[in-house]
């Protein structure tokens, strides 16, 4: 009698219990570089774990979501946003009998290429780099080139297509695309209320009537909209009505929070930090590389920075410091000698 490995048992479970539209790990299109399979984990579980253990994932904890370098520990960062996308995506995938492991892998990796200072940093690099800069494309570069995670093609596709306007190859990729929007709309509202930028009562009245003014109920309603409208279908989507109100809420956030609000007051400074570092590093590399390679290297370096690392590099290169003498703690030891 042949004894199945744990991975094979998990693969059989997927084949027996997941939806006919779900992406089965045993049917993956594979990796760029073939590898021996694990005896414990499916291919998508391995992708998830590789992303979770990557350096780029750890740096997300010090990258801005909306509010730059917040001192309040309860504001979202790029890492907590990522975890909320994962939770929402897994909830939807579980309800629709899709591959939860693939959804989790895509969710955890979707923002690995995001810049410091959130979309402010992204827009600056988009202006400076020939051919533009898009964080979803950079996220793919992180997993394929910079950290060489050798992920499955389905995971890479989901990371690339999580931004709106792309068409994912799998229903799991579509789930993450929707989960990303649901997550940031809701947690950005909560953070903006916490910051005093808006009040719940400021939201469009018809959106409040449809979703509720309560954060938890609004989030739950959006998730239910996806699940109810997608059960037993190949395509994953909200109802037309639900999507219309979701889009209206998103547009309202752009007009009142994302573009011109107290939340954006520090963005001019942040933009300057990115610009000056870009020009500085470009000049440093000119004697060593051609223009295309210089821009590629500088873009990789800056986009990988955390907010605080970018600020620290700016200080080191553009803020004058006085001459330092001693250890800085000399007076402490002097006092110890005096009071003996």
Q: Does residue 126 form part of some domain? A: yes
The predicted pLDDT at position 267 comes to 87
Same domain, 301 and 175: no
**Prediction pTM value:** 0.93
pLDDT digits (tens, 9 = 90+) for 168-177: 999 999 999 9
The predicted pLDDT at position 73 comes to 82
Same domain, 231 and 256: yes
Q: Does residue 1 form part of some domain? A: no
Residues 6+ apart with CB under 8 A from 126: 132, 133, 134
Write the Ramachandran bin of 305: left for phi over 0, alpha for psi from -120 to 50, otherwise beta: beta
Same domain, 258 and 285: no
Same domain, 58 and 165: yes
When pLDDT is averaged across residues 82-108 and rounded to a whole number, the result is: 98
Task: With beta carbons less than 8 A apart as the criterion, state whether 42 and 94 touch.
Answer: no
Burial of 53 from C-beta contacts in 10 A (0-12 / 13-18 / 19+): exposed
Secondary-structure percent of the chain, ordered helix, strand, coil, rounded to 5: 65, 0, 35
What is the tally of structural domains in the chain? Answer: 2
Task: With beta carbons less than 8 A apart as the criterion, state whether 59 and 306 touch.
Answer: yes
Of 129-133, 204-208, 294-298, 330-334, which range is least confident? 330-334
Max intra-chain CA distance, the chain:
83
CB atoms within 10 A of CB 95: 15
Tokens 């993956």 sit on residue: 28
pLDDT digits (tens, 9 = 90+) for 257-295: 887 666 677 888 999 999 999 999 999 999 999 999 999
The predicted pLDDT at position 224 comes to 97
Same domain, 100 and 143: yes
Burial of 261 from C-beta contacts in 10 A (0-12 / 13-18 / 19+): middle
The predicted pLDDT at position 72 comes to 75
The predicted pLDDT at position 332 comes to 65
Same domain, 32 and 137: yes
- Give the residue from 267, 299, 327 where a domain finishes: 267
Same domain, 184 and 41: yes
Same domain, 287 and 232: no
Same domain, 109 and 64: yes
Two tokens at 196?
């005093």
Q: Is the per-residue pLDDT at 45 higher than 80?
A: yes
CA-CA-CA-CA torsion sign (269, 272, 278, 281): negative
Q: Does residue 308 form part of some domain? A: yes
CATH number at 120 reads: 1.10.3210.10
Q: Which domain holds residue 316?
A: 272-338
Bridge partners of residue 152, in order along the sequence: 31
- Give the residue from 267, 283, 316 where a domain finishes: 267
When pLDDT is averaged across residues 153-171 and rounded to a whole number, the result is: 97
Q: Is the per-residue pLDDT at 192 higher than 60?
A: yes
Residues 6+ apart with CB under 8 A from 123: 271
Same domain, 160 and 221: yes
Same domain, 94 and 41: yes
Average pLDDT of the chain is 93
Integer angstrom CA distances of residue 296 from 302, 330, 334: 10, 45, 51
Q: What secondary structure does DSSP assign to 61-78, as a single string?
A: GGSBSSSSS-SSTTS-BH
**Which pLDDT band holds residue 336 (cuts at 50, 70, 90)?**
low
Same domain, 194 and 276: no
Two tokens at 318?
């553009």
When pLDDT is averaged across residues 288-317 and rounded to a whole number, the result is: 95
Q: Does residue 97 form part of some domain? A: yes
**Which pLDDT band holds residue 213 (cuts at 50, 70, 90)?**
confident
Work out the end-to-end distance of the chain between its first and last CA atoms, rounded to an integer number of angstroms.
81
- Give the residue from 221, 237, 267 where a domain finishes: 267
């Amino acid at each position: 009698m042949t004894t199945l490995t744990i991975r094979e048992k998990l693969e059989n479970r997927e084949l027996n219990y997941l939806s006919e539209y779900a992406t089965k790990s045993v049917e993956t299109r594979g990796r760029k570089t073939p590898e021996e399979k694990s005896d414990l984990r499916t291919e998508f579980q391995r992708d998830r774990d590789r992303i979770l253990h990557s350096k780029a994932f750890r740096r997300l904890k010090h990258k801005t979501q909306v509010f730059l370098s917040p001192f309040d520990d309860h504001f979202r960062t790029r890492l907590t946003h990522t975890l909320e996308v994962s939770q929402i995506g897994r909830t939807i995938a579980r309800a629709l009998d899709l591959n939860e492991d693939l959804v989790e892998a895509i969710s955890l990796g979707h923002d690995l290429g995001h810049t410091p200072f959130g979309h402010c940093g992204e827009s600056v690099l988009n202006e400076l780099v020939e051919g533009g800069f898009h964080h979803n494309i950079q996220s793919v570069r992180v997993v394929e080139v910079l950290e060489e995670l050798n992920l499955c093609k389905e995971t890479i596709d989901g990371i690339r297509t999580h931004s709106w306007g792309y068409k994912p190859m799998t229903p799991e990729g579509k789930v993450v695309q929707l989960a990303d929007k649901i997550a940031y709309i809701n947690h950005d509202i909560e953070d903006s209320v916490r910051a005093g930028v808006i009040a719940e009562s400021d939201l469009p009245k018809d959106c409040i009537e449809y979703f509720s003014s309560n954060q938890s109920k609004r989030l739950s309603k959006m998730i239910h909209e996806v699940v109810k409208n997608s059960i037993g279908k190949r395509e994953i989507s909200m109802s037309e009505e639900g999507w219309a109100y979701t889009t209206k809420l998103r547009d309202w956030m752009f007009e009142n929070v994302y573009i011109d609000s107290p939340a954006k007051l520090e963005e001019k400074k942040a933009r300057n930090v990115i610009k000056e570092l870009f020009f500085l590093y470009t000049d440093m590399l000119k004697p060593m590389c051609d223009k295309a390679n210089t821009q590629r290297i500088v873009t990789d370096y800056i986009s990988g920075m955390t907010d605080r690392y970018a600020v620290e590099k700016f200080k080191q290169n553009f803020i004058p410091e006085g001459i330092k003498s001693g250890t800085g703690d000399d007076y402490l030891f002097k006092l110890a000698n005096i009071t003996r």
